[in-house]
Amino acid sequence: MHRFLRKLLLCIPLLWLFCLPAAAAVGQPRSGGSYEVLYRNSLAQADAATTVYYSDRFFSHPATEYDAELALASLTMSLSACTTWDSYTDYAVQGNVGREANLAAAYKQLGFSNAVYFHYDKSRNAPSDSAAYSFAQKTWTENGQTKTILAVFLRGAGYGAEWASNLHLGDGAVHEGFSRPAAEAYTAFLQYLAQARQTGTLGDVSLWLSGYSRGGTIANLLAARILNTLPEFTPQNTYVYTFAASAALTADAALTLQWSPADPADNCIFNLLAPADLVTQLFPAAWGYFRNGKDITLPTPQTPAEVAALNALCQDRLDFAVFPTAAEVSGLAQLLAELAQSPAYYHTHYEALLMDLAQHQNTRNAQTAYASLASVIWHHRNDFSALGLFRESCARLPSSFLSLSKLRCLRICHSPDTYLALLRYYS
């Protein structure tokens, strides 16, 4: 009897193993192929199609190794995460109108499932320190080994009055308009991760995190917090690519938001920047602002042949020949920093005015547009005097820079077409 009990006790740990959740297949593996993905293209005023190569093998090498093909796939998915052009007719509608449709279709193409979406159902007239984002998963078994890829993409364009949040620097050591949505997305990711674990064994997990513009800036902060607080995510399995991201934190920010490995070889956050993109130079380094990870500035076209090739990649929707130079854009960024004087001065004298103007500009409500603009002007009547300094400061810039074509290019230099063309041509 005692011998039987001893054998039974020895078997209990083995019985516990059989009670563990099995590896539940989620989504479908992709060994490699080209897929068509739609993204919001403001230059074409439509949802444009682009073809991208994707393979689950992207995640078989350490995330510390920069991968040009994964970078392009990351940019493509980040752009698909932007609000669809077709949903513009429902700009002010609160509810599900398909703003995430391009991303949902891209997930299906690449074999991801269990997708969840946050804030895509919000009216684009709603200003707030939030951002739309999404999580998805694929889990499969290969040669007896369970593998999982968790995807996180943040919306970076087509978000309407949320634009005001880009100007919400706040009075702390990190940009509030970016840090608040990063904190919310972190909490949501913890919940998504816990639910994924409940459904089955995840095995070897890789995290794919990316965003463009506003989404890229938030992704940069989110990545640092995940790497600093979740031991299962390391520089080896956390693949982070951001595009056109602003600098959002200073050295005084919480350490959980900073990712600066002692050995540069341990970096897994790559920030891709167009050379003439003003957005990437805000907020300025002169104020102590920086991005986590490694900045990679894409090349500048040097020859007519390069310009022609880049224009062709954009279907001639833009002309790289008339882009301002990196030096001209840096000069403008420096001028803006001097005009705003300091983070504290900007926060006190400019922030509320600029946020209200941005909210007005991105609110679609014809009945109240003029009334709201008048109220903004009246409410900030004392702040407009400070903006008068800008006219005097502009005299220090080269006259050629202030041409209409180059001013228009400030926006285009930040466009998805610019980044897609540069990344495709120079990869």
- CATH number assigned to the domain comprising residue 165: 3.40.50
CB 191 within 8 A of CB 185: no
In whole angstroms, give the CA distance from residue 209 to residue 166: 20
User: Has this prediction a pTM greater than 0.75?
Assistant: yes
81 occurs within a structural domain: yes
185 in a structural domain? yes
Is residue 17, in this structure, part of any structural domain at all? no
Q: Give the pLDDT of residue 329.
A: 86
Counted domains in the chain = 1
Tokens of 45: 């005023």
HSE, side-chain direction, 13 A CA sphere, residue 345? 10
User: Does 402 fall in a domain?
Assistant: no
DSSP-assigned states of every residue in 353-399: HHHHHHHHHT---TTTHHHHHHHHHHHTTTTHHHHTHHHHHHTTS-G
What type of residue sits at position 313?
Answer: L
Tell whether omega for the bond before 283 is within 30 degrees of 0, i.e. cis: yes
With respect to residue 57, please indicate whether it lies within any of the assigned structural domains: yes
Domain that holds residue 264: 33-336+407-426
Terminal C-alpha separation, the chain: 72
Residue 160 belongs to some domain of the structure? yes
Question: Cβ–Cβ contacts within 10 Å for residue 405, how many?
Answer: 12
Considering the domain boundaries, does residue 147 fall inside one?
A: yes
Would 360 be classed as within a structural domain? no
Other CB atoms within 10 A of residue 254 CB: 14
Do residues 238 and 181 lie in contact, with contact meaning Cβ atoms separated by under 8 Å?
Answer: no
Tens of each residue's pLDDT in the chain, 427 residues: 455 545 544 454 444 333 444 557 888 999 999 999 999 998 888 999 999 999 999 999 999 999 999 999 999 999 999 999 999 888 888 899 999 999 999 999 999 999 999 999 988 887 788 899 999 999 999 999 999 999 999 999 988 888 889 999 999 999 999 999 999 999 999 999 999 999 888 999 999 999 999 999 999 999 999 999 999 999 999 999 999 999 999 999 999 999 989 899 999 999 999 999 999 998 999 999 999 999 999 998 989 999 999 999 988 888 888 888 888 888 888 888 888 889 999 899 888 888 887 877 777 664 444 445 555 555 555 555 555 555 555 555 555 555 656 666 778 899 999 999 999 999 8
pLDDT digits (tens, 9 = 90+) for 392-402: 555 555 555 55
User: Would you state the torsion angle of the CA atoms of residues 186, 100, 419, 189, taken in this order, to the nearest 10 degrees?
Assistant: 10
Q: For residue 4, what are the contacts with CB-CB under 8 A and spacing of at least 6?
A: none
7-16: per-residue pLDDT in tens? 544 454 444 3
Q: For residue 298, what pLDDT is reported?
A: 96
d(CA 228, CA 235): 10
